Structure 1
Amino acid sequence: MKNVRLVFFALTSLLAFSAFVVSIQVKKPVQVNRPPNIILVLIDDMGTADVGCFGGTFAPTPNIDRLAAEGIKFTNYYSAAPICSPSRVGLTTGMAPGKWRITSFLAERKHNRSCEQADFLDASAPSVARQLKKAGYATAHFGKWHMGGGRDVDNAPAIPNYGFDEYASTWESPSPDPLLTSTNWIWARSDSVKRWSRTAYFVDKTLDFLKRNPGRPCYINLWPDDVHTPWVPDETTLDAFPKGTEKPREFSAVLAELDIQIGRLMAGLKAIGADNNTLIIFTSDNGALPTFGGKRSGTFRGSKLSLYEGGIRMPFIVRYPASAPKGKTDNQSIICATDLLPTFESLAGKKGTTSGDGENMATVLTGKPRVRTKPIFWEYGRNTESFRYPLPHDRSPNLAMRQGNWKLLVNDNGTGVELYDLTTDPSEKNDLSSQQRQVAEQMKAQLLAWRSALPKLN
């Protein structure tokens, strides 16, 4: 009897303890979801058809393809310019880069003057990082900068002036990482971090930053300088081609390594428990060059340095497990790089705090397509002396505009009008300017007025 009582007492105590534990679990306050980490992966000179999920065949890209399979692939995303510096300025500021007097790639002062542009992005300009920092984000930039600094421009503002807590950047920046720049050039054999290891270095920096900031949402620019030429995938290539190459074999090797590092990024996010509430955007700053006979531009006409679709319509993938559907393709929503600042503000809970040229596309990034309300404007090529251009077939007029399904191109002197219906003619083969005169004239007047309102270089 005594043993029975002991057993009964033990069972009763166990049940009471279990009920206590359950009551604690029930009463434990539910943690409020915080804004997402945002990692903006901006590839350098990646064509629309470089990766498998957009039709690429140069090298397998299983990890980039998995981003799309686990997120949303967008087919109507545009960079702010068909060349590096202004495209990055548009993304950073949420404004047309010409409004900040950036019109081509930034280089030495003489080149900048001849391109009618400033030497660097004004630090007073709006900045994605600065706005998110105000919203409580930890901010970092790891990778290529190219918005001022380098060569003989020694007075460019430091990267923290744009709102970044930490950074590690390449040669074309105010203060390049010494591990990446042992000489006064973009890369060298003597660099501690070799040319082919840079993307891995930036991924390591990204994951480390997230690990060290577990209590705050993080915004990170992960901007590798792959897949920009010259291509140096390994030391053997460097021995054979000391200045790198522009050949398909080396391009494929660089692309394959980039894909491996995207896989490392995704695995690292899972390992530190940051995967579910991290928004990854994967895109490019501008189109490809060389295109290998147009193959890297896919069905689109044009390349880097061109305002045809191949120069400005970019791959765009969003992966956000907590809020975005998997395996979806959005063919409807038209997005521009200038949209990212107001979109990120909205995701951070600061909707509508910055005015600019973009639209808030936060709902679009979480799987709800919508019709764009603002037109998109571009310029490239203010003169024939200082600006680089592609082959004649890919060289476009120097202004362009998209409004709805219509795309108009024209030179800033009013000549060379071209009009395309991108719904039926995304390859821009059938100029409708003579058949749709009213549409062409209305858009031309609007585009030329936009161009004339841009500030001149003082």
Structure 2
Amino acid sequence: MNRRHFLKRLGAAALLGAGVSVSRSVSGVREAKGPNFVFFLVDDLGWMDLGCFGSRFYETPNVDRLAAQGMRFTNAYAACPVCSPTRASIMTGKYPARLRTTDYFGAPQPDTVQRHWTRDKPLLPARYRDRVPLEEVTLAEAFKQHGYATFFAGKWHLGPEGFWPEDQGFDFNKGGHDRGGPYGGKRYFSPYGNPRLSDGPDGEHLPDRLATETCEFIEEHRDGPFLAYLSFYSVHTPLMAREDLKAKYEAKARTIEHDGPAWGKEGDREVRLVQDHAVYAGMVEAMDQAVGKVLDALDRLDLTRETIVFFMSDNGGLSTSEGHPTSNLPLRAGKGWLYEGGIREPMIVRWPGRVQAGSVCDEPVTSTDFYPTMLEMAGLPAKPEQHLDGRSMVPLLRQQGPQKARALYWHYPHYGNQGGTPGGAIRLGDYKLIEFYEDSRVELYNLRDDLGEEKDLSAAMPEKAAQLRQMLHQWRSDVGAAMPTANPNHEI
């Protein structure tokens, strides 16, 4: 046996040990076939926006079914309180601060802020990179290199043309380009005016169309292995729902009595405190129906047992701006803020035969963790330089006990459209510290006792605050985080 064939057989044996099936090709040589992957990423979906996470208004039976068949993560985080940075973190396994992809792509740069509503703020935003560098080996590229067919549908928002899904490892791209929302044509309804998605029949609904494209890819590549990444434009603005779903939730809203006030304040912004927005509810249910369409296709094609499914949101629910469509209570604030409402996400993993159905994990995880997790699941080699800031969740999924404690970090050196200000944050164990860059003040919270971040402990626990602040500063130095600067136009 020559060295090449020996190494191939040795690799196949290793994959068998990792739970990856091995089949015989036409030539008789044994070849590994890894599990299939379906990844659902929802835009702007809040932690409380699913029935399985506690919503009593929105109806999400298909995602609830997914949770009942898999593991629900209660302390899952996006790497940023806005979209593009989190999406980049999933694709690269790296913190946005390390990549300098720290704001949504299209946000003002320090030399263009004069034309933006933030022009008179105390700080100029840090300069950010508005594309994922082609030099990065993306999640899709890593799987493609090992024989996976790769498919992307929906919102990309990770760079201009030349940096779209087809340039970053995806064989197929249905709808992914530079825009952060469905802003062409009739928006959520055909004609779409999308350069990477052909128009359907007049009035066709975008979430359903993206699900249909995903199902067709899965059926055509049913012999696998494949990675299907369905990245919804939903439930991002513009707030638009099918008329039947809007009417359904308008009627439902009239039957609900709320225990407390409907509105509160977060800084100078109004914040929604109840879930009763009929249009948004219709958008959530349409997303859920699209998820169900894909899950049903896996069942119909007898692929469920060999397909791992992920479900996640890219940032917190929109509660303080742009229509204030949802409430994240008991979490504080929402999209664009470093409070829990802006970064804690509903996350579910279904791994048939490996993950206990209906299980729950309370360990903190973050969006950089998907990359190494999926590689390990597939029995593919981990290359830490490709996913420096991620850690495999496989031990958690297999309920092998808690992993070694680690700190999670956030860096958002920008002013958010939703009212948030430049800042950074660290979570270590139960404690979370937020540093506000305008005046360097900090707030410290014990999330186990105070999920709503109502009691600032920084004055009562100065040593803990100092420890976390020092760790945050050291991390920023280690990753080369770009900082905002004083705005010379600001009037004190």
Question: Which TM bucket (shorter chain)?
Answer: 0.7 to 0.9
Change (3 A) 1:63 1:237: closer
- What's the CA shift for 1:412? 3.5
Partner of 2:268: none
Partner of 1:454: 480
Identity %: 30
Secondary structure of the corresponding residue to residue 75 of structure 2 = strand
| 1:278 corresponds to 2:330 | no
Distance 1:160 1:122 in 2: 14
1:348 to 378, 403, 422: 378
Unaligned runs of 5+ in 1: 1-28, 150-154, 239-245
Partner of 1:4: none
Change (3 A) 1:195 1:357: farther
Could you tell which deviates more after superposition, 409-418 or 250-259? 409-418
TM-score, normalised to structure 2, is 0.75
Partner of 1:136: 147
Change (3 A) 1:451 1:186: farther
| AA in 1 matched with 2:173 | Y
Partner of 2:455: 430
Distance 1:362 1:135 in 2: 20
TM-score, normalised to structure 1, is 0.80
Where do residues 37-436 of structure 1 align in structure 2 (5 Å cutoff)?
37-107=36-106, 114=113, 115=125, 116-149=127-160, 155-170=161-176, 172=178, 183=185, 190-191=191-192, 192-193=199-200, 197-234=205-242, 248-290=277-319, 296-331=327-362, 333-355=363-385, 356-382=388-414, 384=415, 387-390=416-419, 395=420, 398-412=423-437, 415-436=440-461
Unaligned runs of 5+ in 2: 1-27, 114-124, 193-198, 247-274, 484-492
Could you tell which deviates more after superposition, 316-325 or 292-301? 292-301
* Conserved 8 A contact 1:397-1:409: no
Change (3 A) 1:444 1:225: same
Distance 1:237 1:325 in 2: 34
- What's the CA shift for 1:156? 3.9
Structure with higher helix content: 1
* Conserved 8 A contact 1:182-1:188: no
Distance 1:85 1:448 in 2: 23
Q: CA deviation digits over 1:202-251, x for unaligned, max 9?
A: 2112222122223321112110111112222236999xxxxxxx981111
Change (3 A) 1:377 1:132: same
Q: CA deviation digits over 1:290-321, x for unaligned, max 9?
A: 36889631311120000100100000111122
> Who wins on radius of gyration, i.e. which is larger?
1
Secondary structure of the corresponding residue to residue 324 of structure 1 = coil
| AA in 2 matched with 1:49 | M
Distance 1:195 1:359 in 2: 43
- What's the CA shift for 1:134? 2.0
- What's the CA shift for 1:129? 0.7
Partner of 2:249: none
Distance 1:42 1:424 in 2: 30
- What's the CA shift for 1:322? 2.7
| AA in 2 matched with 1:87 | T
Could you tell which deviates more after superposition, 318-327 or 336-345? 318-327
Change (3 A) 1:434 1:85: same
Partner of 1:18: none
* Conserved 8 A contact 1:90-1:337: yes
Distance 2:58 2:474 in 1: 44
